[in-house]
């Protein structure tokens, strides 16, 4: 954390040197003393400080300067730093101006030049001002700041991205926070540039694509080596487990993740069925721990980076990445999980990200305190969301297509839901329309038993409507079932007793091996897998064991 700043401004170089020297000698251990020889150059530098979110404790400014007087400078500077203390350096002839400034810019003090000896005529005053400032000083936030509109889908996308990639950030709502407007003004950009991402070094990006933010943050998206023992696609629980156990076993391992480590599990507010965590843990906590473990074993993680295509070149499996680069491996693990199933309902797409969310980020919960939230879905993920959001919302209503929750939800979760007074479950129900000008305001629900529709006010609609596998990038490479899940091991043989087309080894595919030797699959994306965090982790670990057998046979 940089030290707070004392700014001194004077056009006379001798005076400037003297005041700077005296201030540094007395306060240099706790404050940074910065100086400028004109109001204009000082203002420019003060703006840069503001962009870097550094604190200014005191402006000590000469009143009589050409082009911009001390008072004129302070008028502008305090718009950026309203809490900074202000003192004018004056000659006897400027006393009147200094007294007037007490009213116009609320200066805290004026000091007569010369101030010798400083022990008597300078430090006492400055000590007082700094003590006063320290008493109400809260150290500024040091991470990335995002300025945007509450209902802007792109603002929410950026916040979600930062959160899921564990980047500390502060959200500044342009509609409700004056500091947001102030910071935006400092960048010189207008409202049309939102969302704006301001970085700790003071640089900023207006309305940036996610890839640009990732780039600026220095997230790793390029592989260091052309070839690896093992490449894993997808950093959900299955991919993370495989990467950790693969690297721990000595395999040179690359893990490629399209969005953020954690996969679907990263969106879970509380995983209660994971071995060893009797009170549960959040998905992001699990992901953070797994990423630290993977890095410790030397796994190289590229995120955000997607695999677009894979081709087989003799014993090598070659991955084409989204940025046009290519990387090779001896064995490949597909752990690309599943994607959210979209609902085709009038009005919904327009409000996606503006009160309507697929698998809502937990960061949204606080925004809906005291609101009426509707949740579509009856599986565990919907149940967890209901429990989590119920701590903030006034009322949660779960809309379930079936006759009861029991068909789709774990018993422990159903019990928790029943015991929570502000959660209601509506069975035989589905959403048929979403309304609102620029954010979700109401939804229309159809009761499939009575065929009656009702339109109700809704602060948010959270959708947990199941998923489809992430396997478009594998088209034409490995065998998939009718729904797109990747088939492996005995399931390949069960569907067709002949060995897969092009299969060369003199053995059947291993349990988690696909129709292409050396390409394995684990987790939710696998045909008939158990689905879930535990199974994903288990399959990831098991895949490594089978990959060793495969590599040994080459």
Report the residue number, 336 or 444, with the smaller CB distance to ligand FAD.
336
Integer CA distances (angstroms), 444 to 401, 440, 447, in order: 14, 12, 10
Q: Pick from 36, 129, 338, 544: which binds ligand FAD (CB under 6 A)?
A: 338
Q: Is 282 in the site for ligand FAD (CB under 6 A)?
A: no
Report the residue number, 196 or 260, with the smaller CB distance to ligand FAD.
260
- Token pair listed for 124: 């006492």
Q: Is 265 in the site for ligand FAD (CB under 6 A)?
A: yes
Q: How many CB atoms lie within 10 A of CB 512?
A: 26
Smallest distance, Å, CB 531 to ligand FAD? 5
Q: Residue 281 has what DSSP assignment?
A: B
Q: Residue 3 has what DSSP assignment?
A: P
Omega cis (within 30) before 114: yes
Q: Pick from 39, 163, 236, 538: which binds ligand FAD (CB under 6 A)?
A: 236
Residues from 240 through 259 that contact ligand FAD (CB under 6 A): 256-259
Smallest distance, Å, CB 402 to ligand FAD? 19
Q: How many residues does the chain have?
A: 554
Q: Which stretch binds ligand FAD (CB under 6 A): 96-104, 182-190, 270-278, 496-504?
A: 270-278
Residue 238 to residue 350: CA distance in whole angstroms = 34
Report the residue number, 77 or 233, with the smaller CB distance to ligand FAD.
233
Q: Pick from 378, 517, 532, 538: which binds ligand FAD (CB under 6 A)?
A: 532
Smallest distance, Å, CB 221 to ligand FAD? 11
Q: Which stretch binds ligand FAD (CB under 6 A): 2-10, 101-109, 228-236, 287-295?
A: 228-236
Residue 64 to residue 282: CA distance in whole angstroms = 60
Q: Is 523 in the site for ligand FAD (CB under 6 A)?
A: yes
- Identify whether the C-beta of residue 252 lies closer than 8 Å to the C-beta of residue 225: yes
- Identify whether the C-beta of residue 194 lies closer than 8 Å to the C-beta of residue 149: yes
60: β partners: 8, 87
Q: Is 207 in the site for ligand FAD (CB under 6 A)?
A: no
Alpha-carbon dihedral sign for residues 71, 74, 78, 79: positive
- Identify whether the C-beta of residue 361 lies closer than 8 Å to the C-beta of residue 267: yes
Q: Is 284 in the site for ligand FAD (CB under 6 A)?
A: no
Q: Count of residues binding ligand FAD (CB under 6 A)? A: 39
200 closest CA partner among 1, 3, 5: 1
522 closest CA partner among 469, 455, 460: 469
Going by DSSP bridges, is the β-strand pair 5-9/32-36 parallel, antiparallel, or unpaired?
parallel
Q: What are phi and psi of 192, to 5 degrees?
A: -70, -15
Q: What are phi and psi of 515, to 5 degrees?
A: -75, -5
Report the residue number, 70 or 263, with the smaller CB distance to ligand FAD.
263
Smallest distance, Å, CB 376 to ligand FAD? 13
Q: 382: which residues sit within 8 A by CB, 6+ positions away?
A: 375, 376, 398, 409, 462, 464
Residues from 473 through 502 that contact ligand FAD (CB under 6 A): 473
Q: Pick from 51, 307, 354, 519: which binds ligand FAD (CB under 6 A)?
A: 307
Q: Is 514 in the site for ligand FAD (CB under 6 A)?
A: no
Residues from 430 through 469 that contact ligand FAD (CB under 6 A): none
Alpha-carbon dihedral sign for residues 416, 421, 426, 431: negative
Q: Is 335 in the site for ligand FAD (CB under 6 A)?
A: yes
Alpha-carbon dihedral sign for residues 499, 505, 509, 512: negative
Q: Which stretch binds ligand FAD (CB under 6 A): 57-65, 390-398, 425-433, 532-540?
A: 532-540
Q: Pick from 63, 187, 221, 268: which binds ligand FAD (CB under 6 A)?
A: 268
Q: Which stretch binds ligand FAD (CB under 6 A): 200-208, 329-337, 401-409, 509-517?
A: 329-337
Residues from 354 through 393 that contact ligand FAD (CB under 6 A): 359, 380-381, 384
Smallest distance, Å, CB 524 to ligand FAD? 4
Smallest distance, Å, CB 138 to ligand FAD? 34
Rg (CA), the chain: 30
Residues making contact with ligand FAD (CB under 6 A)? 233-239, 256-259, 263-265, 267-268, 271-273, 306-307, 335-338, 359, 380-381, 384, 470, 473, 523-525, 531-534, 536
């Amino acid at each position: 954390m940089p030290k707070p700043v004392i700014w001194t401004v004077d056009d006379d170089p001798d005076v400037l040197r003297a005041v700077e020297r005296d201030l540094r000698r007395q306060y240099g251990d706790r404050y940074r003393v910065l100086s400028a020889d004109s109001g204009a150059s000082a203002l420019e530098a003060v703006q840069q400080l503001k962009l870097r979110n550094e604190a200014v404790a005191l402006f000590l400014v000469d009143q009589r300067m050409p082009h911009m007087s001390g008072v004129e400078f302070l008028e502008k500077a305090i718009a950026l730093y309203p809490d900074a203390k202000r003192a004018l350096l004056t000659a006897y002839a400027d006393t009147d101006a200094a007294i007037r400034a007490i009213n116009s810019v609320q200066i805290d003090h004026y000091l007569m030049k010369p101030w010798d000896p400083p022990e008597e005529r300078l430090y006492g005053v400055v000590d007082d001002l700094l003590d006063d400032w320290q008493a109400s000083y809260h150290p500024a936030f040091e991470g990335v700041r995002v300025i945007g509109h509450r209902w802007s889908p792109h603002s929410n996308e950026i916040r979600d991205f930062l959160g899921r990639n564990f980047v500390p950030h502060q959200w500044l709502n342009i509609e409700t926070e004056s500091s947001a407007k102030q910071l935006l003004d400092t960048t010189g950009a207008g409202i049309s540039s939102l969302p704006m991402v301001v970085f700790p070094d003071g640089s900023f990006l207006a309305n940036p694509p996610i890839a640009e933010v990732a780039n600026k943050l220095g997230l790793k998206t390029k592989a260091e080596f052309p070839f690896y023992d093992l490449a894993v696609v997808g950093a959900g629980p299955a991919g993370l487990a495989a990467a950790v156990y693969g690297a721990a076993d000595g395999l040179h391992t690359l893990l490629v993740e399209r969005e953020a480590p954690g996969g679907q599990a990263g969106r879970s507010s509380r995983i209660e069925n994971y071995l060893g965590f009797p009170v549960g843990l959040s998905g992001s906590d699990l992901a953070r721990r797994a990423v630290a473990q993977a890095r410790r074993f030397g796994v190289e993680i590229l995120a955000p980076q997607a695999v677009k295509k894979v081709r087989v070149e003799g014993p090598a499996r070659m991955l084409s990445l989204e940025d046009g680069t290519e990387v090779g491996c001896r064995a490949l693990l597909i752990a690309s999980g599943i994607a959210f199933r979209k609902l085709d309902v009038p009005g919904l797409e327009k409000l996606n990200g503006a009160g309507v969310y697929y698998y809502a980020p937990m960061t949204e919960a606080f925004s809906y305190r005291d609101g009426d939230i509707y949740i579509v879905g009856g599986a565990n993920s919907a149940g967890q969301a209901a429990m989590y959001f119920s701590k903030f919302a006034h009322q949660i209503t779960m809309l379930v297509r079936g006759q009861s929750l029991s068909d789709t939800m774990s018993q422990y979760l159903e019990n928790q839901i029943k015991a929570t007074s502000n959660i209601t479950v509506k069975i035989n129900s589905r959403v048929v329309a979403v309304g609102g000008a620029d954010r979700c305001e109401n939804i229309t629900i159809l009761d499939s038993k009575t065929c009656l529709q009702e339109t109700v006010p809704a602060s948010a609609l959270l959708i947990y409507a199941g998923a489809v596998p992430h396997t478009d990038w594998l088209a034409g490479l490995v065998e998939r079932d009718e729904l797109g899940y990747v088939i492996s091991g005995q399931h390949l043989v069960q569907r067709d007793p002949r060995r897969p087309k092009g299969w060369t080894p003199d053995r059947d595919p291993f349990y988690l091996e696909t129709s292409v030797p050396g390409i394995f699959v684990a987790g939710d994306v696998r045909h008939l897998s158990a689905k879930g965090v535990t199974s994903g982790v288990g399959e990831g670990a098991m895949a490594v064991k089978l990959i060793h057998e495969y590599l040994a046979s080459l």
